[in-house]
Amino acid sequence: MWENNPWLIVTFALAILIMLLLDLGVFNKKSHEVSSKEAVTWSLVWISLSMAFSGLVYYYAGSTKFFEFQSAYWVEKALSVDNLFVFILVFKFFDVPNSSKHKVLFWGIIGALVLRAIFIFSGAFLIQLTYLNKILSYFGVDGFKYDINIIMTLFGLFLVYAGIKSWSSGDDDDEQDYNDTRGAKLIRRFFSVSEKYDGAKFFTYENGKKLATPLLVVVAVIEFTDLLFAVDSIPAIFAISNDPFILYTSNIFAILGLRALFFLLDNFIHLFNKLPYGLAFILSFIGVKMIISPFYHIESVTSLLVIGGILVLSVVLSIMFPDKAEV
């Protein structure tokens, strides 16, 4: 279908390229501490761009694709918040200067653009190969009436498990030693690491010897954290659509707004203390949707309303019942 609508593909590619070039080369050429005002402005810019693109999806591809885009976008946005909680802990653990956080997040998101492409397009390909009726037909068994997909069912079971585990996980991440993670170990395996930051540089010289700075370690930890996070988020969006273009574009628009969202979350974290419970419910809801989809189809607009309602309720409850430490 998208072959007949090349303008959507071109518009997406140009929008992402132009915004990244502006972000890196103009607005954030020098490392600086991002204020709440700047974070709000950039959040509104990215959300506006995302909604404008969804309008193009509606115009060229119809209401069904529009609701799929919207649902996938807000699911990714919501689940990303949970990932940002971990980013906050990582920055706190490594005592990253406020002026350098933006650079770490920028390169973390560049890595996410590549990883999401690999996961989404390879996942869509594998899903097409694992419908049970196709497999049975290959072995000469015809007439199986349910359109069960083996990978989607496994994804669904995993998401239900992940949702239940997230609900009861508590504050386990607070005690984690991020120097002991794979990302940190990988950098220390190939480079000698300085104990001091050198502005926003990834490498520095000490006594004539080239060393990696702790900032490079932080980028690696963030990249591996995002890789683990994708294990939850990518299966979740496959419950919404099997269209890789819709999934990738919605995913990327959501991810590109994460830096601004991070600084808002960092400054107003008390407004989101109940959100992890809402995200746990969303994961379980999506998992159930995947499992029952061969027998009962939940429309995209219904999923969007459920997900949106849970997110709003989570924030409202966070404001009404703040953590005691924030009172």
Residue 199's closest CA among 63, 279, 277, 104?
Answer: 104
pLDDT score of 198: 87
pLDDT score of 29: 53
pLDDT score of 5: 67
pLDDT score of 327: 45
Residue 88's closest CA among 270, 250, 324, 254?
Answer: 270
H or E element at residue 209:
strand 209-212
Separation CA 289–CA 298 (nearest Å): 7
Separation CA 288–CA 298 (nearest Å): 10
Separation CA 291–CA 301 (nearest Å): 18
Is the pTM higher than 0.75? The answer reads: yes
Q: What is the mean pLDDT of each run of 10 residues along the chain (327 residues)?
A: 68 81 60 73 88 91 90 86 81 86 83 86 87 78 77 89 76 68 89 88 88 92 84 81 89 84 74 79 88 84 85 84 61
